[in-house]
Amino acid sequence: MIQAPKGTKDLLPQNSGAWQAVEMSMRRCAALAGFREIRTPVFEHTELFQRGVGDSTDIVQKEMYTFVDKGKRSITLKPEGTAGVVRAVIENKLYADPLPVKVYYLNAPIFRYENPQSGRLREHHQFGMECFGAKEPSADAELITVLLGMLTELGLRNLTVHINSIGCPECRPRYHELLKAYLKANYDELCPTCKERFERNPLRVLDCKEEGCKKIAKDAPVIMNHLCDECAEHFAGLKSLLTAQGTPFKIDTHIVRGLDYYTKTVFEIIMQSEREGLALCGGGRYDSLVTQLDGPALPGVGFGIGTERIMMELLSQGIELPVESVCDVFVANLSADDRPQAFQVVSCLRDKRIKADMDHVGRSLKAQFKYAGKIGARHVVMVGGEEALRGNVKVRDMETREECETPVNDIAAFFTK
RNA sequence: GUGGGUAUAGUUCAGUGGUUAGAGCGCCAGAUUGUGGCUCUGGAUAUCGUGGGUUCGACCCCCACUACCCACCCCA
C-alpha cells in the first residue's frame, strides 16, 4: 500500500474546519494592518536560497529538497518563506509602488529534509508577513503587535515575544571579535559542537543548551552593549513603541536566528506548553537581503509562523475554535418514492444558502434521524406520508423535539425568517 | 545524520511457538405499528507493517527494510 511520504500529513475533514478558522483570523488581522496576500511558487531556483538564506546555514547545507529538472535546472522546494517573497518583490518591481510594500502569505507549504518528531515535519505550513521599504522601528513594532493580536484573537494565552538586536554589517563584525576573544579564554570548557561553532558562527554558542556552555554564555559580552549608534537607536525605538502600545515583550540577548539575512531586530515566540523551547514563530529585520539578491536598497522586516505549531499550542491550551456546522437541515424521506421530492427540497434550501442534506444511501427513516443527529443537523424535514397529501412537510427541531407542519412550497421561508 | 521505543480490525489496545486472533469505542441492522441523542440485542470488518530466515509448525523467535512516536542537531 502506498503511504504518504515520511514527515508529511494529510489535513483531514475533521480538522480542516479549525484550520479554516485560523486562516480567517490570519487574513483578517493582516488585512486590518494593510497587508495584502502574495503567493509565490512552491519551488524556486536553488541559487535563490543559497544566496538569500545563506550558504553556511544548516537549512541550505543539509535540509533542502533539491533536484535537477528536465531542463537541467537546479530546483529547490521552498525551505522558508521570505526568500521567494523578496524575489517576487524585486522581479515584479513592487517597490515602484508607494512604500512600504506590505504583504502576507497564508499557509505556504515549507519543505525541509529533517527527521520528523513532535512539532516537526518535512512539509509544514507557514503564515508570514513581510514589510519592505520601511526602515523605522515602527514597522518592526507593527509586525510584532499584529502577530500577537492574531494569536490572542485565536485564544492563545501566556505567549511572550522575545526580542533582541544582532546589529548590522557595521557593528556585528566588531562584536564578533569581542565574543571570540571571550570564548577563546573559555574554549576548553565548551561542548564539542560549540568548539566547531567557534569559527563558523560564534553567535550560536549563546543559545547552546549544554549546561557548561550556558554558564559561559551567561557572562559573555552582550551584543546589545556593542551596537553602533544607529542600531542602538533603532532598538530603543522598538522598545518604546512596544511599551507605549502595551505589547508585552522580553529582551532575550540569546536569540540568534538560523538564517543569515537578519540584521538589527530579531524576535521569537516560544511555545508556552507542550514542548518547551520549540519556536512557534520567528522573524526579524533584513535590511541587506534585497540588495544581496540584486534588488534596490530596500529595508525589510518579516516573520514566519508555523501553522502546525499553532494548532499544537491551541490543543495543549485546550482551546477549541468555532467550527462551521456540517448540515443545518436534514431532509428525510418517508419512503423511496418521496426521494425526488426530498431532493427538490434540499436544492431549494441550498439556493437560499441554507446548509441542507438528504439521504444518499437508502436508509430507513429511523436511521435517517440517527444520521441527522450525528452530523449535527438542528432540524429534520420529513417529506412524504399524510402531510404530503396536504402539500405539507413536517419539521422537527432536534434540540427541543418540537414538531410542526408547513407547506412544502414555503419551506425555505420557514427557515429564513 | 545519530540514538531509544513501536508496528494486530475504522480507532484505542489485549493476546498465545500449535486446529476457527479478542475487547472497548466507532460503523451497520433490529427492539410490532412514519422519528435521533440513553439502554438492550445482533452483525460486518484483520493476507496480525513489508520481505527474508529459524522451526514439523510463527501473529508470537531472529535479520533486513519501511513507516510512526520520542530525543539530539537545527528549526516553524
ipTM for this prediction:
0.88
The domain spans of chain A are 13-171+227-316, 329-416
Cα(A36)–Cα(A210) distance, integer angstroms: 42
Which nucleotide minimizes the distance between its C1' and the CA of A334?
B34
Is the C-beta atom of A308 closer than 7 angstroms to strand B? yes
Residue A89 DSSP class: H
Cα(A231)–Cα(A248) distance, integer angstroms: 21
Q: Which residue is associated with the grid cell 571570540?
A: A180
Is the C-beta atom of A226 closer than 7 angstroms to strand B? no
Q: Name beta bridge partners: A124.
A: A110
For A14-46, write each residue's pLDDT tens digit.
Answer: 899 999 999 999 999 999 999 999 999 999 999
Cα(A312)–Cα(A215) distance, integer angstroms: 31
What does A133-193 look like in DSSP terms, one character per residue? S--SHHHHHHHHHHHHHHHHHTT--S--EEEEE---TTTHHHHHHHHHHHHHHTGGGS-HH
Cell (9 digits) for A11 = 489535513
Please check the confidence at residue A200 and state whether its pLDDT lies above 90.
Answer: no
Among A32-41, A56-65, A390-399, the minimum mean pLDDT is found in A56-65
Is the C-beta atom of A258 closer than 7 angstroms to strand B? yes
Cα(A261)–Cα(A248) distance, integer angstroms: 26
Q: Name beta bridge partners: A250.
A: A162
The pLDDT of A148-167, averaged and rounded, is: 94
For A305-332, write each residue's pLDDT tens digit.
Answer: 999 999 999 998 989 898 889 999 999 9
Angstrom distance, A276 CA to B4 C1' = 20
Is the C-beta atom of A78 closer than 7 angstroms to strand B? no
Q: Between these two residues, A193 and A108, which has the higher pLDDT value? A: A108
Is the C-beta atom of A257 closer than 7 angstroms to strand B? yes
Task: Note the pLDDT of residue A51.
Answer: 94
Which nucleotide minimizes the distance between its C1' and the CA of A194?
B73
Is the C-beta atom of A59 closer than 7 angstroms to strand B? yes
Task: Note the pLDDT of residue A414.
Answer: 95
Angstrom distance, A6 CA to B66 C1' = 10
Cα(A230)–Cα(A24) distance, integer angstroms: 38
Which residues in window 342-381 of A are less than 7 A from strand B by Cβ?
363-367, 369-374, 380
Q: Kindly report which amino acid residue has its CA closest to the C1' atom of nucleotide B70.
A: A117
**CB A140, CB A129: distance < 8 Å:** no
Is the C-beta atom of A398 closer than 7 angstroms to strand B? yes
Angstrom distance, A2 CA to B56 C1' = 37
Task: Note the pLDDT of residue A276.
Answer: 67
Please check the confidence at residue A396 and state whether its pLDDT lies above 70.
Answer: yes
Is the C-beta atom of A386 closer than 7 angstroms to strand B? yes
The pLDDT of A323-349, averaged and rounded, is: 95
Is the C-beta atom of A278 closer than 7 angstroms to strand B? yes
Is the C-beta atom of A4 closer than 7 angstroms to strand B? yes
Of the pLDDT bands very low, low, confident and very high (cuts 50, 70, 90), residue A65 is very high
Task: Note the pLDDT of residue A335.
Answer: 92
Angstrom distance, A29 CA to B31 C1' = 55
Q: Strand pairing of A43-45 and A300-306?
A: unpaired
Under CATH, what is the fold of the domain A329-416?
A: Rossmann fold (3.40.50)
Secondary-structure class of domain A13-171+227-316 per CATH:
alpha beta
3-state SS, one letter per residue, for A271-338? CCCCCCCCEEEEEEECCCHHHHCCCCCCCEEEEEEEHHHHHHHHHHCCCCCCCCCCCCEEEEECCHHH
Is the C-beta atom of A259 closer than 7 angstroms to strand B? yes
Q: Between these two residues, A163 and A184, which has the higher pLDDT value? A: A163
Q: Strand pairing of A74-77 and A101-111?
A: unpaired
**Which nucleotides of chain B have an atom under 7 angstroms from any protein CB?**
1-3, 27-31, 34-37, 66-76
Task: Note the pLDDT of residue A271.
Answer: 86
The two most distant CA atoms of chain A are separated, in Å, by 96
Q: Between these two residues, A146 and A170, which has the higher pLDDT value? A: A146
Is the C-beta atom of A120 closer than 7 angstroms to strand B? yes
The pLDDT of A219-225, averaged and rounded, is: 87
